[in-house]
Structure 1
């Protein structure tokens, strides 16, 4: 008998925010994304093993890791500004870019 197991990643776009980029310094749209990696058994996703949040500048493409608390706060600001497509002005993107 064979047991097939592995992982599968899911990418969710949580919000689009207008922030000042920590890399290029431009006030630009940033996408807030959540990547969830799940353990699979026979190609059926069972439970999450990793959750990561990333903000990406649409002007220069720089990606920045975001903690779950920061992501929750940014999402709250976006919904207060008028839904997930709302704009938040005056915010600062985290300063450490993450490249793949």
Structure 2
């Protein structure tokens, strides 16, 4: 019997915002990334396993910090 199921984490860029980085101190664009984890079963639509989290990533140094949404 063939079964196809599992959890999948995906990152999607929601928006970009200019801000000062906490680490490098440079005023640069910071994409806001939404990270969501879904569970998929064969022929069943994916459904969220846990609440999505949002991160802002500095394009200068790569530091990511969590945003409380």
Give the TM-score normalised by structure 1.
0.60
Give the direction of change, closer, same or farther, for the CA distance of 1:37–1:59 in structure 2 (3 Å limit): same
Q: Distance in 1 between matches of 2:40 and 2:49?
A: 10
Give the TM-score normalised by structure 2.
0.83
Unaligned runs of 5+ in 2: none
User: Which residue of the partner structure matches residue 4 of structure 1?
Assistant: 4
User: Which residue of the partner structure matches residue 58 of structure 1?
Assistant: 59
Aligned length: 68
Unaligned runs of 5+ in 1: 69-100
Q: Distance in 1 between matches of 2:43 and 2:35?
A: 18
Structural RMSD (CA): 1.7
User: Which residue of the partner structure matches residue 24 of structure 1?
Assistant: 24
Q: Which has the higher helix share?
A: 1
- Residue 4 of structure 1 and its aligned partner are, at CA, apart by 3.1
Q: Which has the higher strand share?
A: 2
